[in-house]
């Protein structure tokens, strides 16, 4: 509850201010730095100038546009596949009782706890055998291990909460299970799909270990790898201005998405976690 | 049993609906995991196509010791455990604090709640770079601020110093992950009935006491789940360490160690052995958690 | 001709049997109400008929054909759910049309049939609305419309009025009764725990308890000739009074009934078996007559005035309690001594196992 003394209130708002600064300032400072070039970077300042030089140079000095495109392709494909497979599976898991369902749910949850590195060598071999090394399909496949289990899990939680009578009414109306999913449940799962899809998008967009290990050339890298591997003219001079500009570019869309879908993301996170 | 067509149609569809997901999961998780566990008992390498089964030699052998006598591995284990315990503990305490503050209705709460999500949304690699820049030994904001406030006598090379590097990484993780914790706790707080607070207030109980006696016991289940998930997540940490200090031994986690053996040293067998040990560790913990929380789990689905 | 027939119908969930072999024949066009306390299996029985639950044993046939294995839509049944179960994302039109569009019927025909049904239910103005924009009664009518449009042979209602407030419930009860008149060939099965709904709507009532049929009969049959203690107690409010009784054959004919110390009376009744087998006497509150020479001497404990009538809660010397309904002109106060007579025509006698002794007046 809100403190009732003046000092208490002042303390409360000071705490809120600290929370705000703590959350927002590092990114703000990255934005400020991204507009600095040359020796401006060697001086700590707090107000932005608007010099776009770094933003131009990351697209000209390296295939950053291509990297963004790779990330977009991988993330969208991963979201589309995860949601399609996930929503079908979640109907089976949430709405049909069959032997082994509990075990299956536990297994899926356990897979989402896998350390990524535990599949690394096996995945490396498989991707090379399938001829998908240094390619986007390879990355899409690898990302499924990260997104699919929690997509299934979260969608199952949401699917369980839909009223049983709706499904029964549809069966009495003559619908098949696929029609129940497509015409009755899917339209009602809109918010859940948005939340789950967004979480999957963020996971795929941010994925680093697979993208680092399964790509070789600059042209096939996704954004996080490209940023991690930005190098300067000499080995010892990291181009911090470029790095900050690249960071800002890949982060702004995410922040916008998160701010818009704030409530749904929280709903998705809690559905996935609290019920676990 | 005279199962009706409806039941049979539902079970049939369930199997058809599950098949693509199970296939994808087998392909992306089951098979690679199985191969990794197999490689752990071989001398496979990236440079050489042939390999053979060598039993437990990657884990222990009398010639060069194996994983169990590898100082670097044990340092990685120590780093991982230190990172996990310290960061999760700090995130929990801070997360609960922030959640309590955000549970109070005040003007602009929605904005603050949105702002808190920003660190969570930023890719780990980007936050590593952002903080790497702020912690830069010569031009970094932290040193500049510390010196002008009189907290530091001279610039500190945070990331180069093995004593401070891991602490810095913990700090960045706390910055990035506390919001996640705070939001989960906030969700739990908002499910609590308001009248228990009012009752406590009427009884004149001090807010601190209310927190420890009423609020904390009530949110404990949700908090435990969040802490366990975060802990399991922290045990496999890779991105942050790699992006901030690459393969530096003083901050290397188990995941970084395994990947270094696997990719940089091309020693698939040895790297897989390390990955397998990490997997077993996480699996045992997960199994323990799932067994303890089993009742709640099956309650989640109809 | 029998439209719907249940033969030894059983249902178990895991090891627990919820329906223990129900036999029932329902002629075409009849309005049957399943009634019973919660957990008696009435909804389960309805869902077995609908095809929403698997039948564990026994046979269910509609129009002479066994339908055990058929899915709901192929049984020719339609159902109105307790929560209405309207599809929240579809308009009223789409809700009613949903079943028809699944069968890929001609668009114009779907449109014609939906509008026809909407007109009879006064939903024409609401066709473009979403369920959340409708009142409780309107939602109920849409749910009925969705069922009618499929032209079912059997119409199933699962406690359809329990979510409505009291006045709306009375109104909707009327509408359902009208619906039954308008569709004389359609068999209707209606599940409720509300005996007023059961008494007012039913052609026949099926009283269920613990997955067994206790009695099947016309509403007044159940009221006047309950087959056992359970039905006698379940139908009627307040419930029938039950008194422990010792019965023997009286010298002058009839039955000598003894309720305890000093409370004896002879009733001009006869039963089939030995009078000693009767253990319980039942009398409805509305049938107890206040009479200065009545057999039951009681002490008034409490009087409840309901306006058009009043209820006297009283106690017999042995400690048994009794409720009597009176005309509303109250004189008795707590502590007063009264006597009640037992009109032989309204006395029910029950054997030790609870079955009615089928008393008849001599």
Q: Which residue numbers in chain C have pLDDT < 50?
A: none
Range(s) of the domain holding residue C346: 241-361
Residues C227 and C247 in one domain: no
Output phi, psi for B233, to 5 deg.
-65, -40
Residues C228 and C256 in one domain: no
CA distance B14 to A80: 20
CA distance C166 to A266: 40
CA neighbor of B184 nearest in space, from B121, B233, B236, B227: B227
Residues C200 and C245 in one domain: no
| Angle formed by the axes of helices B5-25 and A64-95, nearest 10° | 150
Among C188, C207, C234, give the residue marking a domain's end: C234
Q: Which two tokens stand for residue B30?
A: 């089951």
Asked, as a colleague might, if the bond just before C264 is cis with ω within 30 of 0, I would say no
Residues A175 and A209 in one domain: yes
Residues C71 and C208 in one domain: yes
CA distance C26 to A137: 62
Counts for chain C of helices (H) and strands (E), in that order: 8, 23
**CATH number of the domain bearing residue C281:** 2.40.50.140
CA neighbor of C296 nearest in space, from C327, C261, C271, C270: C261
CA distance C134 to C144: 14
Q: How does pLDDT run across A69-90, given as a tens digit for each residue? A: 999 999 999 999 999 999 999 9
Q: How far is CA A180 from CA A25, A160, B12, C78, C105, in A?
A: 48, 14, 14, 17, 18
Report if residue A220 sits inside a domain: yes
Q: Which of A165, A179, A187 sits opposite C83 (nearest CB)?
A: A165
Domain count within chain C: 2
| Angle formed by the axes of helices A262-273 and B109-121, nearest 10° | 60
Going by their DSSP bridges, the two strands C278-283 and C241-244 should be labelled as antiparallel
CA distance A96 to C156: 24
Contact, B251 vs B241, CB < 8 A? yes
Q: Which of C51, C86, C89 sits opposite A187 (nearest CB)?
A: C89
Lowest mean pLDDT among A106-110, B236-240, C75-79: A106-110
CA distance A60 to A58: 6
Cβ pair C54:B4 closer than 8 A: yes
Best B3, B5, B10, B11 member to test C by mutation, with max C CBs in 10 Å, is B5
Residues C157 and C305 in one domain: no
CA distance A123 to A120: 5
Report if residue A51 sits inside a domain: no
Please say if the pLDDT value at position A234 is more than 80: no
Beta bridge partner(s), residue C228: C355
Q: How would residue B98 be classed by pLDDT, with cut points 50, 70 and 90?
A: very high
Q: Which of A171, A179, A188 sits opposite C72 (nearest CB)?
A: A171
Percent pLDDT > 70 in chain C is 99
Please say if the pLDDT value at position A274 is more than 50: no
CA distance C227 to B216: 58
Residues A195 and A248 in one domain: yes
Residues C223 and C303 in one domain: no
Cβ pair A117:B31 closer than 8 A: no
Residues C92 and C178 in one domain: yes
Decide: helix, strand or coil at residue C217.
strand
Q: Is the dihedral of CA A47, A49, A50, A54 positive or negative?
A: negative
Going by their DSSP bridges, the two strands C187-192 and C31-35 should be labelled as parallel
Output phi, psi for A204, to 5 deg.
-70, -40
Decide: helix, strand or coil at residue A5.
coil
Contact partners, residue B202, CB within 8 Å, separation at least 6: none
Cβ pair C57:B2 closer than 8 A: yes
Cβ pair A2:B106 closer than 8 A: yes
Report if residue A49 sits inside a domain: no
Residues A36 and A170 in one domain: no
Q: What is the DSSP string of C53-84?
A: S---EEEEEETTEE-TTS-GGGGTEEEE-TT-
**CATH number of the domain bearing residue A222:** 1.10.3720.10
Report if residue A108 sits inside a domain: yes
Report if residue A48 sits inside a domain: no
Each as own residue / partner, the long-range contacts of residues B211-218 (CB below 8 Å, 24 or more positions apart, any chain) are: B211/B100, B215/B100, B215/B189, B218/B192
What is the structure's pLDDT at C167? Answer: 86
Q: Which residues of C touch B (CB under 8 A)?
A: 51-52, 54-57, 68-72, 74
CA distance C332 to C304: 11
B2 and chain C in contact, CB less than 8 A: yes
pTM, to two decimals: 0.85
**CATH number of the domain bearing residue C120:** 3.40.50.300
CA distance A46 to chain B (A): 10
What is the structure's pLDDT at B300? Answer: 37
CA neighbor of C191 nearest in space, from C150, C146, C160: C160
Give the Cβ contact number of residue C134 at 10 Å: 18
Residues C207 and C145 in one domain: yes
Range(s) of the domain holding residue A36: 6-42
Q: Which residues of C touch A172 (CB under 8 A)?
A: 50-52, 72-73, 77-79, 99
Residue C107 burial by CB count (10 A; 0-12/13-18/19+): exposed, middle or buried? exposed
Please say if the pLDDT value at position A92 is more than 70: yes
Residues A26 and A61 in one domain: no
Q: How far is CA B51 from CA A261, B44, B261, in A?
A: 50, 5, 16
Please say if the pLDDT value at position A276 is more than 60: no
Among C188, C204, C234, give the residue marking a domain's end: C234
Cβ pair A175:C50 closer than 8 A: no
Residue C344 burial by CB count (10 A; 0-12/13-18/19+): exposed, middle or buried? middle
Residues C101 and C223 in one domain: yes
What is the structure's pLDDT at C208? Answer: 94
Q: How would residue A151 be classed by pLDDT, with cut points 50, 70 and 90?
A: very high
What is the structure's pLDDT at A7? Answer: 85
Residue B50 burial by CB count (10 A; 0-12/13-18/19+): exposed, middle or buried? exposed
CA neighbor of A110 nearest in space, from B284, C293, C3: B284
CA distance C128 to chain A (A): 18
Contact, C119 vs A191, CB < 8 A? no
A81 and chain B in contact, CB less than 8 A: yes
Q: Which of C83, C85, C99 sits opposite A174 (nearest CB)?
A: C99
CA distance C339 to C299: 9
Residue owning tokens 């109070």: B104
Report if residue A262 sits inside a domain: yes
Residues A68 and A36 in one domain: no
Beta bridge partner(s), residue C158: C191
Name the DSSP letter for residue B53: B
Report if residue A47 sits inside a domain: no
Q: Which domains does chain B have, with CATH numbers?
A: 64-251 (1.10.3720.10)
Residues A200 and A114 in one domain: yes
ipTM of the complex: 0.88
Report if residue A211 sits inside a domain: yes
By CA distance, what is A189's nearest residue in C? C89
Contact, C347 vs C255, CB < 8 A? no
Residue owning tokens 């009189």: B150
CA distance C61 to A34: 77
CA distance B135 to A197: 34
Contact, C268 vs C254, CB < 8 A? yes
What is the structure's pLDDT at B299? Answer: 37
Residues A251 and A225 in one domain: yes
What is the structure's pLDDT at B106? Answer: 86
Q: How would residue B174 be classed by pLDDT, with cut points 50, 70 and 90?
A: very high
Domain count within chain A: 2
Residue owning tokens 């939680």: A157
Residues C290 and C212 in one domain: no
Residues C168 and C245 in one domain: no
Buried b (16+ CB within 10 A) or exposed e, C232-267: bebbbeeebbbbebebeebeeebbbbebeeebebeb
Among C172, C202, C234, give the residue marking a domain's end: C234
Residues C159 and C299 in one domain: no
Residue owning tokens 């001090």: B206
Please say if the pLDDT value at position B301 is more than 50: no
Q: What value does the mean pLDDT take over residues B113-124?
A: 88
Q: Which two tokens stand for residue A224?
A: 């996080």
């Amino acid at each position: 509850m809100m403190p009732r003394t003046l000092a208490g209130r002042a303390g409360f708002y000071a705490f809120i201010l600290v929370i705000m600064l703590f959350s927002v300032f590092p990114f703000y400072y990255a934005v400020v730095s991204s507009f600095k070039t040359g020796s401006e970077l060697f001086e700590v300042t707090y107000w932005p100038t608007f010099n776009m030089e770094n933003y131009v140079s990351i697209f000209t000095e390296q295939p950053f546009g291509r990297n963004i495109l790779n990330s977009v392709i991988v993330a969208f494909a991963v979201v589309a596949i995860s949601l399609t497979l996930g929503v079908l599976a979640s109907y089976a898991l949430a709405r049909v009782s069959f032997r082994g369902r509990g075990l299956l749910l536990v297994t899926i949850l356990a897979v989402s706890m896998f350390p990524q590195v535990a599949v690394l060598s096996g995945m490396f071999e498989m991707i090379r055998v399938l001829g998908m090394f240094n390619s986007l399909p390879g990355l899409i496949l690898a990302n499924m291990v990260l997104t699919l289990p929690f997509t299934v899990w979260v969608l199952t939680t949401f699917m369980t909460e839909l009223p049983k009578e709706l499904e029964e009414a549809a069966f009495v109306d003559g619908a098949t299970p696929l029609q129940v999913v497509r015409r009755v449940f899917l339209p009602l799962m809109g918010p859940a799909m948005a939340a789950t899809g967004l979480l999957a998008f963020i996971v795929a967009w941010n994925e680093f270990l697979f993208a680092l290990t399964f790509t070789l050339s600059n042209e096939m890298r996704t954004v996080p790898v490209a940023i991690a591997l930005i190098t300067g003219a000499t080995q010892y001079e990291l181009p911090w201005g470029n790095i900050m500009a690249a960071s800002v570019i890949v982060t702004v869309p995410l922040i916008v998405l998160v701010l818009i879908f704030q409530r749904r993301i929280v709903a998705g996170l809690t559905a996935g976690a609290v019920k676990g | 049993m005279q199962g009706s067509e409806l039941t049979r149609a539902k079970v049939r569809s369930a199997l058809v609906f599950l098949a693509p997901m199970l296939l994808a999961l087998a392909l992306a998780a089951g098979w690679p995991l199985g191969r990794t566990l197999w490689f752990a008992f071989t001398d496979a390498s990236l440079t050489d196509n042939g390999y053979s089964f060598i039993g437990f030699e990657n884990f222990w052998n009398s010639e060069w010791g194996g994983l169990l006598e590898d100082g670097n591995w044990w340092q990685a284990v120590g780093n991982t455990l230190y990172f996990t315990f310290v960061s999760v503990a700090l995130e929990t305490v801070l997360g609960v604090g922030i959640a309590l503050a955000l549970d109070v209705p005040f003007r602009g709460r929605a904005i603050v709640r949105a702002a808190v999500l920003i660190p969570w949304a930023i890719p780990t690699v980007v936050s590593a770079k952002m903080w790497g820049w702020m912690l830069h030994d010569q031009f970094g904001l932290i040193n500049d601020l510390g010196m002008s406030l009189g907290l530091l006598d001279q610039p500190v090379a945070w990331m180069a110093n093995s004593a401070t590097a891991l602490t810095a990484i913990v700090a960045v993780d706390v910055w990035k992950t506390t919001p996640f914790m705070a939001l989960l706790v906030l969700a739990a707080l908002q499910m609590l009935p308001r009248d228990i607070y009012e009752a406590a207030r009427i009884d004149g109980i001090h807010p601190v006491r209310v927190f420890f006696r009423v609020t904390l016991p009530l949110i404990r289940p949700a908090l435990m789940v969040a802490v366990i998930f975060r802990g399991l997540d922290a045990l496999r940490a890779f991105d942050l360490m790699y992006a901030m200090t690459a393969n530096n031994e003083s901050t290397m986690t188990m995941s970084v160690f395994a990947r270094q053996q696997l990719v940089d040293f091309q020693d698939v067998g040895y790297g897989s052995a390390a990955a397998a040990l990490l997997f077993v560790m996480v699996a045992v913990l997960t199994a323990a958690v799932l067994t303890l929380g089993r009742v709640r789990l099956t309650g989640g689905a109809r | 001709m029998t439209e719907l027939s249940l033969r030894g119908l059983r249902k178990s969930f895991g090891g627990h049997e919820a329906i223990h072999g129900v036999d029932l024949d329902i002629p075409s066009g009849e309005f049957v109400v399943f009634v019973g306390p919660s957990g008696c299996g009435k909804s389960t029985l309805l869902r077995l008929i609908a095809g929403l639950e698997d039948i564990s044993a026994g046979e269910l046939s509609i129009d002479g054909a066994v339908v055990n294995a058929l899915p709901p839509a192929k049984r020719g049944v339609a159902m109105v759910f307790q929560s209405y179960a309207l599809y929240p994302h579809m308009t009223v039109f789409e809700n009613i049309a949903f079943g028809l569009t699944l069968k890929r019927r001609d668009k114009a025909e779907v449109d014609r049939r939906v509008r026809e049904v909407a007109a009879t239910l006064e939903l024409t103005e609401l066709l473009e609305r979403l369920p959340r924009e409708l009142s409780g009664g309107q939602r109920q009518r849409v749910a009925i419309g969705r069922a009618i449009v499929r032209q079912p042979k059997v119409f199933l209602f699962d406690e359809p009025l329990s979510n409505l407030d009291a006045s709306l419930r009375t109104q909707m009860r009327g509408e359902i009764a009208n619906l039954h008149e308008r569709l004389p060939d359609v068999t209707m099965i209606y599940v409720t725990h509300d005996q007023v709904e059961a008494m007012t709507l039913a052609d026949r009532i099926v009283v269920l308890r613990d997955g067994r049929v206790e009695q099947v009969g016309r509403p007044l049959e159940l009221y006047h000739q309950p087959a056992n203690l359970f039905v006698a107690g379940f139908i009627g409010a307040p419930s029938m009074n039950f008194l422990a009784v010792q019965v023997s054959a009286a010298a002058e004919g009839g039955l000598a009934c003894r309720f305890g110390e000093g409370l004896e009376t002879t009733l001009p009744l006869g039963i089939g078996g030995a009078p000693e087998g009767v253990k319980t006497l039942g009398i409805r509150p509305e049938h107890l007559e206040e009479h200065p020479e009545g057999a039951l001497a009681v002490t008034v404990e409490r009087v409840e005035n309901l306006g058009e009538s009043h209820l006297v809660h009283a106690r017999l010397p042995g400690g048994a309690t009794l409720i009597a309904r009176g005309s509303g002109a109250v004189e008795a106060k707590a502590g007063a001594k009264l006597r009640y007579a037992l009109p032989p025509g309204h006395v029910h006698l029950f054997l030790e196992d609870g079955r009615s002794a089928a008393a008849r007046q001599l």
